[in-house]
Chains A and B, each alone.
Chain A
């Protein structure tokens, strides 16, 4: 199987897709203010007419490239492209001001490759067994799992819990529009046929992450990064011995990233800061953290790259995406006929393993291109996003249209863009909104399916070992969140 899948990768198009993805990812990610979610959302339409393997390889390449690109702008300019690279910026920018920007970027690159490989191995080990286990997940189990996922993003997603709750609910409400999944009756369709399809994920996503950026920049016409001096780069090398000294930090951070990633809904910001704090508490020279400690760069980078592999486990095995990026990748899988769940490995095992191996192997071109590019990328970070925004607006219109080939979706995209502008301007977090939109409708469906099979009895939610375990997890996470809050209030 592994060898057959590898043979599938020996194809010029796969290589071209991987390289094109990584390069465009690095470029988009390096431009201050543009992040990986937006990069993927805008590039999905390009993959429509491609075969599934190169299509997904391209998107994963974009993602990896954009994460690295994001650390370039985080380290050199202190402008993190995503909240998750904010942790990298703390020590990375400090190093850059000492002229060690090149060293910080190399460290970030190697650490992220380590995190990626680690989580990819975990993914390969866990996804198929979990997918086999997925047959035991009936409606009641799925309903409890999704409730847990929604709860986790509200409680542990970082930021205000009330804000996250509001966003999850907004997403769930938006998911109601369309045909009722159980009785097939229209809900909030205003007697319009176009609404019956509901709000499609990809137009909403493009609106929230790309169009809203255009509006934000129209609002803030001041440039994001003035003509800030990029500190000079001294030439540097990172020796293997240095990485070997960090092996425990790298391993711990990757483990945190992977396993927090498996929990649906948290995303990569929390594990990045968790492993940064862990690395600091374990360090002998803790006072160096914040002043340019190499491990302060390596720890969060390893963690936030490890999240992808972890988040793909529930995405592929159960169809429950872990964060915004895996939600987009899930959408891409579905578009290419690879439906996640118990049959994914049976029907499309070859494609899935080829994709896993591509994810693993793409570390090689990422390192090569990363090393080649970061001198060039310094110039890219000087590109003002506003020069690109008209093009982004056009691509957003095109991308939203191309999903279903109807103009209604473009209106949805524009609406989501305006809402996204308001939410981002008001500091309401977008990832919970997305998870609410993705999980809200299936949650309702599973809940009602379970009640239909049980004849209306709610005891179905505490009958099987899996549901009991999930209910216990739900109470446990509530308890943990409460204790943390109490401790914080007392401190």
Chain B
């Protein structure tokens, strides 16, 4: 009796001092994993994250629940996940804006670099510089030259977005008179350029309209070319020192055990590189762009710093 009690006490003490990480890696995951999506249900980020979750469930052997926490351009959800337990059971599927654009502009209550560990990047819609088909501008050069003599207006999906800041730094650098007009979402900015209410727009999801001949694609804001339009240069290729890489990736709160991160990275990468996932994303008109956690971390850090510089230049 006495012996048993002492031994059970020892067992308890042993459990208490045993590193939590060792416990965690042994039987992770042993309950459902939650992926927070910082946008509403039904958007492309939400749909792709749900597909990712459904396919990764089979590999990880536990249900993956997708939870939407829309609002405040994604920063609410980021703040919640940053404060969540770093046990690998709360992750976030996030995009460029709340990870490195908004945090560069104002205090959002989290620091993407120190509060998160990137797991992988799996998508990211290309943002194009589009003009109406009857526009006098047929290249980025003519657009910038044109903007030196008379003001060129361009629409984006919203105030202080990555696209806006990229073009603001182009304007500053070249001296072109580029006037930003923020819209409430990319669809409205696209409608405005189609209706000729702005001279150009920086929007994703331009593929069908460009192929249809309603819009002309002058270039892309990303670091790499859109494989569907090999003729459209990146801003850097056109000699403009700005870019807005678009990411859709999964992050975990900082402090999550490295073995758990590795496990999740391999599971999600397996899903993202599968043919089924690619077919699904093509139907959604979204590219599959895989980056490892390390690469994603580097992209976020570089851009966060770049955007901080731009924001400082703009007089914030």
Direct contact of A and B (CB under 8 A): yes
**Which of B71-79, B139-147, B270-278, B289-297 is the contact stretch?**
B71-79
Taking Cβ atoms with an 8 Å cutoff, the residues of B that contact A are: 40-43, 67-73, 75-76, 79, 105-106, 108-109, 151, 153, 158-160, 179-185, 187-188, 190-192, 194-198
Nearest B residue (CB) for A451: B181
25 CB-based A-B contacts, threshold 8 Å: A134-B191, A135-B194, A138-B197, A139-B197, A179-B159, A181-B158, A182-B159, A184-B159, A184-B160, A193-B108, A194-B76, A196-B75, A335-B40, A335-B41, A337-B40, A337-B41, A339-B187, A342-B191, A342-B194, A405-B67, A405-B69, A449-B182, A452-B181, A453-B179, A453-B198
**Once the chains bind, are B192 and A183 in contact (CB under 8 Å)?**
no
- Contact mask A330-352 → B, CB, 8 Å, 1/0? 00001111010111000000000
Docked CA distance A184–B183 (Å): 11
The residues of A that contact B197 with a CB separation of less than 8 Å are: 138-140, 453
Docked CA distance A32–B304 (Å): 57
Docked CA distance A138–B196 (Å): 8
* CB within 8 Å of B: which A174-197 residues: 179-184, 186, 193-194, 196-197
Q: A135-B191, A179-B73 are in contact. List 9 more A-B contacts (CB 8 A).
A: A134-B191, A181-B159, A184-B159, A193-B109, A200-B71, A335-B41, A404-B69, A452-B179, A455-B179
Docked CA distance A158–B159 (Å): 38
The residues of A that contact B195 with a CB separation of less than 8 Å are: 135-138, 342
- Greatest chain B CB density within 10 A among A49, A337, A442 is at A337
Report the minimal beta-carbon distance from B312 to chain A, rounded to whole angstroms.
16
Number of interface residues of A (CB under 8 A): 39
Nearest A residue (CB) for B161: A184
Docked CA distance A404–B158 (Å): 20
* CB within 8 Å of B: which A425-440 residues: none
A135-B195, A184-B160, A335-B41 known; A452-B153 Cβ under 8 A: yes
Taking Cβ atoms with an 8 Å cutoff, the residues of A that contact B are: 48-49, 52, 134-140, 179-184, 186, 193-194, 196-197, 200, 334-337, 339, 341-343, 404-406, 442, 445, 449, 452-453, 455
Partner of A180, one of B68, B159, B190: B159
Report the minimal beta-carbon distance from B108 to chain A, rounded to whole angstroms.
7
- Greatest chain A CB density within 10 A among B188, B190, B196 is at B188
The residues of B that contact A49 with a CB separation of less than 8 Å are: 41
Top 10 A-B residue pairs of the complex, sorted by shortest distance between their CB atoms: A138-B197, A337-B42, A184-B159, A184-B160, A135-B195, A197-B71, A197-B72, A196-B72, A452-B181, A453-B153
The residues of A that contact B73 with a CB separation of less than 8 Å are: 179
A137-B195, A405-B67 known; A449-B181 Cβ under 8 A: yes
Report the minimal beta-carbon distance from A220 to chain B, rounded to whole angstroms.
36
The residues of B that contact A404 with a CB separation of less than 8 Å are: 69-71, 76
The residues of B that contact A139 with a CB separation of less than 8 Å are: 181, 192, 197
Report the minimal beta-carbon distance from A36 to chain B, rounded to whole angstroms.
25
The residues of A that contact B40 with a CB separation of less than 8 Å are: 334-335, 337
A139-B181, A181-B159 known; A193-B187 Cβ under 8 A: no
Docked CA distance A182–B160 (Å): 8
Report the minimal beta-carbon distance from B60 to chain A, rounded to whole angstroms.
23
Docked CA distance A233–B159 (Å): 62
Nearest A residue (CB) for B42: A337
The residues of A that contact B68 with a CB separation of less than 8 Å are: 405
The residues of A that contact B79 with a CB separation of less than 8 Å are: 193
Report the minimal beta-carbon distance from A78 to chain B, rounded to whole angstroms.
43
Docked CA distance A196–B71 (Å): 9
**Once the chains bind, are A184 and B158 in contact (CB under 8 Å)?**
yes
The residues of B that contact A406 with a CB separation of less than 8 Å are: 69, 71, 76
A404-B76, A453-B197, A453-B198 known; A182-B192 Cβ under 8 A: no
Report the minimal beta-carbon distance from B98 to chain A, rounded to whole angstroms.
12
Docked CA distance A156–B93 (Å): 48
**Once the chains bind, are B151 and A455 in contact (CB under 8 Å)?**
yes
The residues of B that contact A136 with a CB separation of less than 8 Å are: 195
- Greatest chain B CB density within 10 A among A183, A184, A442 is at A184
**Once the chains bind, are A452 and B187 in contact (CB under 8 Å)?**
no
Docked CA distance A341–B190 (Å): 11
